[in-house]
Amino acid sequence: MRILSELEGVAVGIITKHQPCTAYALRKELKDSPSSHWRGSAGAIYPLLERLEKEKLITTSADSSDGRGRRLLSVTTAGKQALRSWMRALNDNNRIAEVFDPLRTRVFFLDSLSRKEQLEFAEQTLSALESYLESTRIHLEDRPGNDLFGYLGARGGTLNAENRLEFIREVLHHLRKNNGGGGNRSG
């Protein structure tokens, strides 16, 4: 059995938690997440659900209480096994170290910007991160008290945002202290 992608694993996990649930409920949970990684767009979710159903990881059934033809999603036994395999796959050294961080990646190339652009980049990023941190804290406070793992996941997002904020503050400090570091082009 193949290991689910991150979006597949998240989708199967959400369906497992709320089953039976609708595709709309899945999309809403992804959209409401403070993580920018999960968009929940129809263009991403509906083909994903079709693929999961084709692979017999989820099933759909008609919602008898709904006259609009709404479909309910449930996870199959194979889907539950795939979710468990996806969860355990994070223990692989290659997977645990996977980090896509566009902020950190861009910092490597700050010297391609003028001093003014470097400072603007850092200041705008600082402002955006402060706003994002506030939204993650609100999301954390909105978690139901009986959802320990939902709370812990949201707490991890808050800690991540706090660390990124500390990182960009350090970048900004060095830019101000060192007159822009290696990229002292005028501009």
- The full set of domain ranges for the chain reads 6-96, 102-177
Highest mean pLDDT among 31-35, 60-64, 171-175: 171-175
Residue 93's pLDDT band (boundaries 50, 70, 90)? Answer: low
User: Residue 106: what pLDDT?
Assistant: 85
Residue-wise pLDDT tens digits, 106-144: 888 888 888 999 999 999 999 999 998 888 888 778 777
Quick one: which of 96, 98, 4 has its CA closest to 58? Answer: 4
Question: Looking at the predicted structure, is the pLDDT value of residue 33 above 80?
Answer: no
Could you tell me the pLDDT band of residue 74, with boundaries at 50, 70 and 90?
very high
Give 13 or 39, the one with higher predicted confidence: 13
Confidence of residue 180 (pLDDT cuts 50, 70, 90): very low
For residues 116 and 186, give the distance between their C-alpha atoms in angstroms, rounded to a whole number. 8
- The DSSP code sequence of 52-75 is HHHTTSEEEEE-TT-TT--EEEEE
The residue-averaged pLDDT of 32-41 equals: 69
Cβ contact 3:85 at 8 Å: yes
CB 161 within 8 A of CB 129: yes
> CB under 8 Å to 187, separation ≥6 — which residues?
113, 114, 115, 116, 117
Determine contact, residues 104/167, Cβ cutoff 8 Å: yes
Residue 62, pLDDT above cutoff 60:
yes
Q: pLDDT grade, residue 153 (50/70/90)? A: confident
Return the higher-pLDDT residue of 60 and 181: 60
User: Looking at domain 6-96, which of 1.20.1260.60, 1.10.10.10, 3.30.70.260, 1.10.1060.10 is its CATH number?
Assistant: 1.10.10.10
Q: How many CB atoms lie within 10 A of CB 124?
A: 11
My answer on whether omega of the bond before 20 falls inside 30° of 0, hence cis, is yes
Gyration radius (Cα) of the chain, Å:
21
Q: How many CA atoms lie within 13 A of 95 on its CB side?
A: 12
